[in-house]
Structure 1
Amino acid sequence: MSEIQVMQAIHDALREEMLRDEKVFIIGEDIGIYGGCFGVTRGLKEEFDLTPDENTPIGQWPEPPIKDRRLIEPPIVEGGFTGIAVGAAMYGYRPVVEYMFSDFVTCAMDHVVNQAAKQRFMLGGQCKMPLVIRFPGGCGTGAAAQHSQSLEAWMCHVPGLICVAPSNPYDAKGLLKAAIRSDNPICFYEHKLGYRVKGEVPDGEDYTLPLNKAKVAREGKDITLISYSYTTVKCLEAAKQLEAEGIDVEVLDLICINPIDRQAIIDSVKKTGKVLIAHEGVQKCGVGAEVAGIIADSEAFYYLDRPIVRFGGCDDMPIPYNKELEYSYIPQVETICDKIRDLLK
């Protein structure tokens, strides 16, 4: 086992899958020499892209086969290169799209929602859609309203899209490898602050993880704390702090937010009888609302001895640029602790 960061785990998964299958390619802004907006693809251009460098006159460029042009850096037109990826997936390739920021999916919604998600259904299963879209998102970097959003609930509302949001290196690598091998369109959410999260990953093991399962990240008996992505990291720290007060928190990491692992939620809530759902996306109509609905619609509801509590991002304003306001906009370790203390009174 080696301890690595989430960004290294994602890089390794991309590299290993490109070595495994020559039909895997990556398309996105600045993913070559620059290594992508957050450095995840750094070093892959030298290994997989034999396109002549920018100093070679255009008239002298050879016409390389697609297998030798596997890191494609398009203009800043998300709608255009997402459409290219959708078409390539229908043709049998396995494209991985990288947006610089997850917010920019708004420039490509038709291709994601009306094409990628629906083609297999509209064509009666005659085509596959092995497409992965990587969404670096979340706030905490001072990137303000248009570069910090958590819009995953939008995609969870679209039939045909699978949405995953890992919180640690082991899950990130196994899920991305599974996503690339899947014949369905996958929205792969990566938190910008989560890139530096460290964890152990098996050395030299070619493993994948299911794209529909949650896991208990910490056992507990007093309350269930449900989350995903980087907020899971905060939840684990909150649980650690509350342990000193005699509060035993169970942390359930959803990991896959569409489809959601209903049984894992039900089992944990039945065990503890109390639940807090925390996430960074806007609370109103967010993933937490769906989780609350699952609990209310199931036998777990009759095991509750407190109301279901949701704790998400602010409903009424965009993400601020100001550091202090941004910090207060979303759940933090201390505010998660406060919510749990209030719920247990």
Structure 2
Amino acid sequence: MTEKILNPIVLQRADPFIYKHTDGYYYFTGSYPLYDRLVLRRAKTLNELHDAEEVTVWWKHESGPLSELIWAPEIHRVDGKWYMYFAAAPDTNIDDNTFNHRMYVIENESDNPMEGNWVEKGEVKTEMSTFALDATTFNHKGEQYYVWAQQDLDIKGHSNLYIAKMENAWTLSTKPVMLTKPELSWEIQGFWVNEGPAVLVKNGKVFITYSGSSTGVDYCMGILTADADADLLDPNSWTKSQEPVFQSAPENEQYGPGHNSFTESEDGKDTILVYHARNYTELIGDPLFDPNRQARAQKVEWDDQGNPVFGKPLPDDRWTPKTTDIVE
């Protein structure tokens, strides 16, 4: 790595996602605390993201299925175009729309996604008409895959993780396959969820990290592992960690780390874990509406078997807000 990462890398952006493009820029997005827009910023280094100009590329609708709780955007490059995946809820049942989300995608043909026009491509539909969110996509051996979280009303809990192949950037071409459901003690604290999948392909393996439990101090990460040559649509190809691989570190004042993504260092030599966490536990009201899940990043280590070792969330290097005010 070329320089020490200073945390937080971006203030008040939960569910952080970074795409390092061939133009030399890191493109960053995350959930805006008002959950009403999609934002982007870019910088040549991870540390410069903190103060980089942020632009709003899309606003929620005034009514309808894309009008509430815009969550967990990701930006990807697929077939030479930019796509942003996100979840949105309808304006019906306003008092109980937290678990009414569906998944959507917008497209931009410009070289620079901070410019040009973003076009709505619609809902990414699965075979289930239930709560769905946290989509990510990756290309492996010439096939485009889609991984996401969705509720099955026949399975206890709010969301399981699924995988499918894609026909194009907004359409699935195969049936959803469930890879994991919340069942272990660290996945079912508060809410029963497996969510926020992130994909890392390295050392002849495919890793999918994900987050479990509610979004407070119990939030933590698990991991699924498959051989890179295996059938990724076969649940038996995947091995699930029985213990969390990344969790709160009170000694470093870091709580509820999760909903991660992966990028690489400026020199391309190191894998970087990107995640959110808070540095306090005294929450007022619903943790979802506390804006201070800050975006953070740190280097991933590797063991002798070629598996990632995440260690503990590191202490902060920079000032962070601890109020409900939104920092612009």
More helix per residue: 1
Q: Highest CA radius of gyration, 1 or 2?
A: 1
- Asked if Structure 1 and Structure 2 have the same fold, meaning a TM-score greater than 0.5 normalized by the shorter chain, the answer is no
TM-score normalized by the length of structure 1 = 0.27
Give 1 or 2: higher strand fraction.
2
